[in-house]
């Protein structure tokens, strides 16, 4: 199984990727995780990425693709993989295609999780976390017992700066600008599967599992 999960911030693709990798025993590839691990291990690509990150700059596609290429060569990907939130642009998609082609591989499916803008804003703006124990809550879906206080250590909960309404709108604007061409790119190649991500995590997982069943590893 070789699939890509697309979707705006807050659609739940990361949650579904975690579930699918457990269900089908395939690797989850998240570029954020790859970058953090490469920096931690101080690999050549990790050090290059860190130089950009320290300056507050975007890590170039060439570095990100290099990390993905290295990960795909890892034996943990032999049984398949889920790419979570990557590629984000058409050039990244083209580079990914070249990497896979060089290995005699191809994508099976690209799942585009669709959730209304209103629901995305509600999901993201309601998130809270505890800076002391890292516990996470949601003011609508998983609220703390005492308003804005952590259940575990009774510390005040905080909202991430990028989960505030103005930041969310900017994140969605950037996503729309970058991803609309990417959705068309995969649609034209017959790989795109639109999936309703507005239900509960369990409902979305049930529908997703049905769609992915034909691609499961033997």
**Which are the catalytic amino acids?**
13, 88, 127, 160, 171
Measured at the CA of 18, the angle between CA 12 and CA 24, to 5 degrees, comes to 125
Q: Rg (Cα) of the chain, in Å, rounded?
A: 18
Residue 111, φ and ψ in degrees, nearest 5 = -95, 120
Residue with token string 């239900």: 199
């Amino acid at each position: 199984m070789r699939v890509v999960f697309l979707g705006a911030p807050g659609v739940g693709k990361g949650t579904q990727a975690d579930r699918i990798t457990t269900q089908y025993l395939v690797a989850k590839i998240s570029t954020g995780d790859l970058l953090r691990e490469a920096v931690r291990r101080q690999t050549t690509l990790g050090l290059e990425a860190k130089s950009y990150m320290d300056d507050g700059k975007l890590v170039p596609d060439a570095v990100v693709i290099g990390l993905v290429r290295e990960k795909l060569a890892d034996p943990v990907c032999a049984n398949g993989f889920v790419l979570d939130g990557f590629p984000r642009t058409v050039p990244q998609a083209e580079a990914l295609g070249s990497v896979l082609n060089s290995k005699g591989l191809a994508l099976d499916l690209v799942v585009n999780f669709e959730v209304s803008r209103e629901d995305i804003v509600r999901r993201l703006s309601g998130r809270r976390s505890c800076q002391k124990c890292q516990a996470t809550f949601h003011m609508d879906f998983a609220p703390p017992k005492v308003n804005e206080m952590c259940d575990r250590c009774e510390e005040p909960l905080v909202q991430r700066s990028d989960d505030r309404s103005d930041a969310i709108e900017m994140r969605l604007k950037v996503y729309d600008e970058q991803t609309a061409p990417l959705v068309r790119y995969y649609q034209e190649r017959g790989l795109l599967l639109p999936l309703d991500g507005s239900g509960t995590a369990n409902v979305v997982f049930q529908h997703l599992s049905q769609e992915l069943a034909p691609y499961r590893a033997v």
